[in-house]
Amino acid sequence: MSTAPESPMKVLVYSDDANVRAQVRLAIGRRPAADLPAVEYVEVATQPAVVARLDEGDIDVAVVDAEAQPAGGLGVCRQAKDEVYDCPPVLAIIARRDDGWLATWSRADAVVALPLDPMAVARSVADLMRRRAASRLPVL
């Protein structure tokens, strides 16, 4: 019997490349860890769509592709962290490990490098989902 909450958590996946979005979905799967609820994906391909969805306030975790065009995921992450109230945690996907400094500048909460390691992606998203769930617990 599962102890995971019943309501799915929404994971936004931003990339202009449908193949990258599909790789992210496959890496995370339907439920990245047994103690977490199912994942509901929200796929977006443009920076304005990211901003609009985050402004709605129902996204639990965002995954951004640093190589997206014309607006890279790291710039989109930085904008979201600066402008979105209660911004969800963000996982940044970088093409080169040396871009880690840029991911730090963007204030990404976690970083993975291409090629995607499905275990690392699922683990990172699971950690961010737990962080988001904990941030929404009522204070006693």
CATH number for the domain that contains residue 111 = 3.40.50.2300
CA dist., res. 88 & res. 12, Å (int): 10
Range of the domain at 57: 9-133
- φ and ψ at 69, to 5 degrees? -125, 145
3 in any annotated domain: no
93 in any annotated domain: yes
99 in any annotated domain: yes
Q: Mean of the pLDDT values across residues 98-105? A: 92
Nearby residues of 87 by Cβ (< 8 Å), 6 or more positions away: 54, 80, 81
Q: What is the largest CA-CA distance in the chain?
A: 45
Number of domains the chain is built from: 1
Q: What is the pTM of this model?
A: 0.93
140 in any annotated domain: no
| Angle in degrees, 0-180, between the axes of helices 18-28 and 118-135, rounded to the nearest 10 | 70
HSE-up (13 A, CA, CB side) for residue 135: 12
Q: Mean of the pLDDT values across residues 77-102? A: 94
CA end-to-end distance (rounded Å), the chain: 28
| Nearest partner of 63 among 117, 128, 6, judged by Cα | 128
44 in any annotated domain: yes
Give me the percent of the chain exceeding a pLDDT of 90.
88
Confidence at residue 97, expressed as pLDDT on a 0 to 100 scale: 81
Place of tokens 């639990």: 60
pLDDT at 1 over 50: no
2 in any annotated domain: no
